[in-house]
Amino acid sequence: MDVLLELVVIWVGVYFAVIAAAKTRLTPVLYYLAIGCLFVNVGILPEKSDDFVRGLAELGIILIMFALGFEEKTNHFLQSIKKSWGIAFFGAVAPFTSAYVVADYFWGDHNIALMCGLTMTATAVSLTMVSLKSEGMSRSPAATRIMTSAVLDDIASLALVAILVPIAAGGTQPGAFEIFLTALKAAGFFILITLIGGWVLPASPKGWFGRLPIIGRLGIQNLFAFGKGEYAFLAVLLLAVGVGLVAHEFVFHPAIGAYMAGLILKEEYFKAEDSRTSYKEIKGTLDMVAFSAIGPIFFVNLGTNLVLEWDVLLSVIPQTVTLTLAILISQIVSASLAARYTSAMDWPNSLMVGFGMLGRAELAFVVMDIAYVQNQILSTEAFYTLMLTAFWLNLAVPIAISLWKPYCKVVDDGAG
């Protein structure tokens, strides 16, 4: 298939997926995957995508992860940590453990079990927040706790992916030194990002960075204001992809680096007096490119990996049912109890937190792509099971939130 025709077919599928998502109030990600799966199985898309399309898909997930980090306000996030740490910790440990135990029981492979655990750890923030917003609960106590806890879980998942994927992909049981070296590289990247965010990026760089030529005189605000802000979006893209490449050198997936790059950017960096481009315009353009144009290509392309083999599909029904129930129960129970006893929430809102953390979207599929497509750690059966489980968990989120809303008192939770 001609590469441009393949791209047009994908974008047509994306358009119909968005319409279906709006009608059903489910995350578009599910429909992007379904479109990819449908198109490849009826022969509309090839089983092996063109190199250009695969490159766009890789750029797409980098932009999506950058946009997700970019929209999180760092100060709000830090203020909410003390009220959400328990939800994040117990709400991640329980599903990780459940998925690991189920996968180890069915497939008896330590590496597959690890990847299944990681896939089921991170919560789909976008799906939950859209569902809460549609019910008028986007600023409720439950929404604030879910958002902060999900971000904490995502960061922890990213760190674990960076450490465990190279180990699992090695093919041999790693020694203590190899594990230590991988952990050291991961820690080194987080330290580097912290230094960049706290000392280099501000308009007036701090410490000895401020005495460096050019960097000490300019700062990131001046870079974004160059040419009256006309090149600010280009600078943002350079930062996202550049940090992604740095992350790759530290054994991270580039999308992980892009997420961290977005997290350390602040709105005030875009407030130079002579700039014609505002933070709102940059964010709007980034969201459009990441979530509407380029980003969906990643999910459609990932869906094309699900070439339906009915014998495999039927064979994983027991695994899918078991894993879905295990995550459903462990996630709701662990997150609800943590919200009640570590965040001092009432029982109705505590249960809403549990329901809201059921979703599995962007980061879960990034882990699947890394583990199945790029490193062949997951078996075909495990991949099918994870995709189907994510579908049912995501389907449960808007239904559970809508049914439970009458029992919750909706109030503005402020900054958390």
Q: What is the spatial distance between Cα 271 and Cα 249, in angstroms, rounded to a whole number?
A: 32
**Is the pLDDT assigned to residue 316 strictly greater than 80?**
yes
Q: Give the whole-number percent of the chain exceeding pLDDT 90.
A: 21
In contact, 370 and 165? CB cutoff 8 Å:
yes
For residue 415, is pLDDT > 60?
A: no
Confidence of residue 413 (pLDDT cuts 50, 70, 90): very low
Amino acid identity of 346?
D
What would be the CATH architecture of the domain defined by 3-407? Up-down Bundle (1.20)
User: Which of 90-104, 155-169, 196-210, 287-301 tops mean pLDDT?
Assistant: 90-104
Nearest to 332 by CA among 404, 415, 406: 404
Q: Higher pLDDT residue, 348 or 194?
A: 348
**Residue at token pair 């000392």:** 199
**What is the distance between the alpha carbons of residues 90 and 87, in angstroms, rounded to a whole number?**
6
What's residue 210's pLDDT?
55
Please give the pLDDT value at position 414: 45
Closest CA to 381 of 292, 331, 309: 309
Contact 222, 272 (CB under 8 A): yes
- pLDDT over 80 at 2, yes or no: yes
- For the ranges 198-207, 212-221, 229-238, the maximum mean pLDDT occurs at 229-238
Contact in structure between 348 and 409 (CB atoms under 8 Å): yes
- Mean pLDDT score, 37-50: 89
Q: Give me the pLDDT at residue 11, please.
A: 94
CA–CA dist 409, 403 (Å, integer): 14
Length of the chain in residues, anyone? 416
Q: What is the pLDDT of residue 335?
A: 92
Distance CA 364, CA 153 (A): 12
Quickly state the pLDDT bin for 96 (edges 50, 70, 90).
very high
Q: Per mean pLDDT, which of 10-14, 30-34, 237-241, 312-316 is the most reliable?
A: 10-14
416 compared with 87, residue with greater pLDDT? 87
Question: Are the CB atoms for 151 and 143 separated by under 8 Å?
Answer: no
- What are the sequence ranges of the domains in the chain? 3-407
Distances in whole angstroms, Cα of residue 14 to Cα of each of 2, 37, 43, 290:
18, 13, 17, 13
* Range 195-221 average pLDDT: 59
CB atoms within 10 A of CB 185: 16
User: Residue 275: which pLDDT band, with cuts at 50, 70 and 90?
Assistant: low
Calculate mean pLDDT across residues 212-238. Answer: 70
Among the listed residues 348, 261, 199, the one whose alpha carbon sits nearest the alpha carbon of residue 70: 261
What pLDDT shows up at residue 112?
Answer: 92
Q: 165-185: per-residue pLDDT in tens? A: 777 776 555 556 666 776 677
CB 330 within 8 A of CB 98: yes
Mean pLDDT along residues 68-87:
70
Spatial distance between the Cα atoms of 226 and 232, rounded to a whole number of angstroms: 7
pLDDT band at residue 1 using 50, 70 and 90 as cut-offs: low
Say if residue 392's pLDDT is above 80: yes
What is the identity of the amino acid at 88? A
Give me the chain's average pLDDT, please. Answer: 79
Question: 404 versus 187: which is more confidently predicted?
Answer: 404
User: Poorest-confidence range of 18-27, 267-276, 383-392?
Assistant: 267-276
